[in-house]
Structure 1
Amino acid sequence: MKDKQLEDLYDFIDNSAHMLSEQEDILYLDALAEVGDRLFTSKMVEIHDSFQKKKLEKLYQSITFEDYEQEIIRKALQLAVLKGMKGATQPHHSLTPDAVSLFISYLVNKVLNQPKPYILADLAVGSGNLLTAILNQSNKEIKALGFEVDETLLHLAYVNANLQKHEVELFHQDSIQKLPNLEADLVVTDLPIGYYPNDVVAQDYEVKALEGHSYIHHLMIEQALKQTKSGGYLFLLIPNFLFQTDQSETLHQFLKKESVILGLLQLPSSMFINDNQAKSILMLQKNGEGVKQIQQALLAELPSFSKKSALADMVNQIDRWFQSELKLS
């Protein structure tokens, strides 16, 4: 039943975006955001072609949007965003894979385990897929904040939050620029990779390059720690080569000074086209009163997410690590 719901909702969203894109001569992703806005207000997009309009109306009649679970909505939108990104030319347009989003949600639930409200921030929220996946998997009261410099992606994040009925405060902003003090309990971000062009702004960072442009992923890690409260946690998707570059020693020293490096979980290599694109999950806890050094960092190479038995064994090992090192069950 859920597979049928997902297929029907995706078909409607995809066809609506495709028709609107052709009619208005706009990018598929921009059309997708417009379709999402219309869905939220229970309106169909206006299609001039009568044949296409009838086709769309038939698809619309096959869905009962109010009955759909949040995860069905998120996955349908994710599939459409993925399609749009394949046709986009912007290199910064990418989407956190679904299995990774759900695995990070599991890690988040390990540390947000108290009956109190939390503040969660994503400094590169993109289309909102990672952030809403975390919110869908949590039963905690969470104030969610998202920052995104790309206007199209921010619009999609807005649509994602609205359609899944999540209150998310979104900012159209380069998060390397000065931010208000967020005092976040947790920062979760799929880091953008590359050089940051504004050397003047980068000068305010300890991890800046001594010459030339600084790495944006280094600057964002420092910003993430600045925006996390003492004792708060960070789960950051980083490139596997993070600690192997000419600027990595400065970053490593900064991390040791400002945080406890809890662990590094390498994602399955089968998820990536080549080694240069491979990523890991860096787990940090910001230093502060009551924060203790751990005996053993969690270092592991995750098995393929399709190998359920091996993944279950890994999760059991991670559960035991959280219990022994952080006293979190």
Structure 2
Amino acid sequence: MKVLPVEEVFTLLNETAELLKEELNVTYLEALAETGENVFQGAILQEELSELTTKRLEKSYESFHISKFEKEDLRKGFQLAILKGMKENVQPNHQMTPDSIGLLMGYLVNKFIDQSSFSLLDPAVGTGNLITTVMNAQSGKMVEATGVEIDDLLIKLAYVNANWQEHPIRFYNQDSLEPLFINEVDVVVSDLPVGYYPNDLRAQDYELKADEGHAYAHHLFIEQSFKHVKEGGFLFLLIPNGLFESPQAPKLHDFLKKYAIIQGLLHLPLNLFKNEQAAKSIFILQKKGEAVKPPKESLLVNLPSLSKADDVDRVLTKVSNWIRENKGS
């Protein structure tokens, strides 16, 4: 039976990560980053391995060539290995955007952005799965990307992930809400981290700071995204459905009124999430500017279950028609 490319990628990563995990006494995700880097560099970089483990790794690596795989197969194989590692070692900040959402965001970016080359930022890049999914969906376009992530391990996985797929992404390992020394971009995509931001002193520099107690991190991420996107640039943000129901929501509402044009809101099907409280939507915003005109009306969509292909096609046709009619309106 023929092995599928995604399965081949996962098997190589999984078997070699397990070997390194055992030998180096590290977590699966740490071992995954190590083996991914070995494959990319074409060498075994860990000097402290036993001769037996080194031989076993060499045998696995010698028949595996990144260049023979499609980018999406590499990304999906890598994603499966990361998901396995996250199940083994559950941490609240170690969560991945579901594939179906990433693919949908990639589709939307491709439809809204008609430049042949553009710059992209994900201020909460995690393992790089969302940003590379979006980049893979931009057929024939040149995309230069930047990712920011505070977690050392996640950004190492993102770096290896991007190298495997040959994506030009600059990574910054820092708190995304500290000053970012990056150029303004055309597009922001992000699965916003939801919760309170503990650094009250830093939050004071934001318009969306809390009047009392901690500010919401997801509010500050929205403001930080607006600081780093060009006039007329787009933001595709995965937001909690209750974004405008919190005590701090009026301030966010005023902020968006001041800086943003709301292009659209796509409610994702509830069956994608554990429960109704965890449900999210894709919020499409555009930064105001002199030549930027709002659409005749915002795009509001309730997406059907993504397993219902015909219903999804109908909705995507509606989205496509809306974009065509509202471009430059």
Q: Which TM-score band (shorter chain)?
A: over 0.9
Report deviation, 1:98.
Answer: 1.0
The 1:176/1:201 distance shift into structure 2, 3 A limit, reads same
Residues paired across the two proteins, number = 326
Do residues 39 (structure 1) and 39 (structure 2) align? yes
Does the 8 Å contact 1:119/1:184 carry over to 2?
yes
User: Residue type matched to 1:108 in 2?
Assistant: V
Tell me, in whole angstroms, the C-alpha distance in 2 between the residues paired with 1:27 and 1:271. Answer: 28
After TM superposition, list the pairs within 5 Å mapping 1:275-286 onto structure 2.
275-286=276-287
Give the structure 1 partner of residue 82 of structure 2: 81
User: Residue type matched to 2:196 in 1?
Assistant: Y
State the SS of the aligned residue for 1:22: helix
User: Residue type matched to 2:247 in 1?
Assistant: D
Give the structure 2 partner of residue 227 of structure 1: 228
Identity of aligned residues (%): 46
Which structure 1 segments of 5+ residues have no match?
Answer: none
Does the 8 Å contact 1:2/1:72 carry over to 2?
no
State the SS of the aligned residue for 2:291: coil
The 1:285/1:61 distance shift into structure 2, 3 A limit, reads same
Write out per-residue CA displacement over residues 297-325 of structure 1, whole angstroms, 9 at most, x where no aligned residue.
11111112221111110100000110112
Give the structure 2 partner of residue 257 of structure 1: 258
Do residues 7 (structure 1) and 7 (structure 2) align? yes
Report deviation, 1:43.
Answer: 3.0
State the SS of the aligned residue for 1:262: strand
Does the 8 Å contact 1:196/1:215 carry over to 2?
yes
Give the structure 2 partner of residue 315 of structure 1: 316
Give the structure 2 partner of residue 48 of structure 1: 50
State the SS of the aligned residue for 2:284: strand
State the SS of the aligned residue for 2:206: coil
Tell me, in whole angstroms, the C-alpha distance in 2 between the residues paired with 1:321 and 1:144. Answer: 27
Tell me, in whole angstroms, the C-alpha distance in 2 between the residues paired with 1:219 and 1:137. Answer: 28
Q: Which moved more, 1:220-229 or 1:293-302?
A: 293-302
Report deviation, 1:293.
Answer: 2.2
After TM superposition, list the pairs within 5 Å mapping 1:87-102 onto structure 2.
87-102=88-103
User: Residue type matched to 1:144 in 2?
Assistant: A
User: Residue type matched to 1:145 in 2?
Assistant: T
User: Residue type matched to 2:42 in 1?
Assistant: S
Tell me, in whole angstroms, the C-alpha distance in 1 between the residues paired with 2:261 and 2:302. Answer: 20
Do residues 178 (structure 1) and 179 (structure 2) align? yes
Tell me, in whole angstroms, the C-alpha distance in 1 between the residues paired with 2:2 and 2:194. Answer: 35
Report deviation, 1:158.
Answer: 0.5
User: Residue type matched to 1:35 in 2?
Assistant: T
Report deviation, 1:327.
Answer: 4.6
Report deviation, 1:28.
Answer: 0.9
Does the 8 Å contact 1:196/1:216 carry over to 2?
yes
Does the 8 Å contact 1:12/1:56 carry over to 2?
no
Which structure 2 segments of 5+ residues have no match?
Answer: none
Does the 8 Å contact 2:293/2:328 carry over to 1?
no
Q: What is the TM-score when the length of structure 2 is the normalising length?
A: 0.94
User: Residue type matched to 2:219 in 1?
Assistant: H
Tell me, in whole angstroms, the C-alpha distance in 1 between the residues paired with 2:199 and 2:100. Answer: 34
The 1:299/1:31 distance shift into structure 2, 3 A limit, reads same
Give the structure 2 partner of residue 18 of structure 1: 18
Q: Which moved more, 1:290-299 or 1:185-194?
A: 290-299
Tell me, in whole angstroms, the C-alpha distance in 2 between the residues paired with 1:143 and 1:62. Answer: 31
Tell me, in whole angstroms, the C-alpha distance in 2 between the residues paired with 1:303 and 1:41. Answer: 43
Report deviation, 1:119.
Answer: 1.3
Do residues 112 (structure 1) and 95 (structure 2) align? no
Tell me, in whole angstroms, the C-alpha distance in 2 between the residues paired with 1:175 and 1:190. Answer: 13
Tell me, in whole angstroms, the C-alpha distance in 2 between the residues paired with 1:145 and 1:3. Answer: 34
Write out per-residue CA displacement over residues 205-234 of structure 1, whole angstroms, 9 at most, x where no aligned residue.
111110000000000001101111100000
Does the 8 Å contact 2:44/2:54 carry over to 1?
no
Does the 8 Å contact 2:236/2:285 carry over to 1?
yes
Report deviation, 1:326.
Answer: 2.3
The two structures, once aligned, show a CA RMSD in angstroms of 2.0
Report deviation, 1:45.
Answer: 7.1
Tell me, in whole angstroms, the C-alpha distance in 1 between the residues paired with 2:50 and 2:275. Answer: 44
The 1:225/1:164 distance shift into structure 2, 3 A limit, reads same
State the SS of the aligned residue for 1:121: strand
Tell me, in whole angstroms, the C-alpha distance in 2 between the residues paired with 1:62 and 1:10. Answer: 14
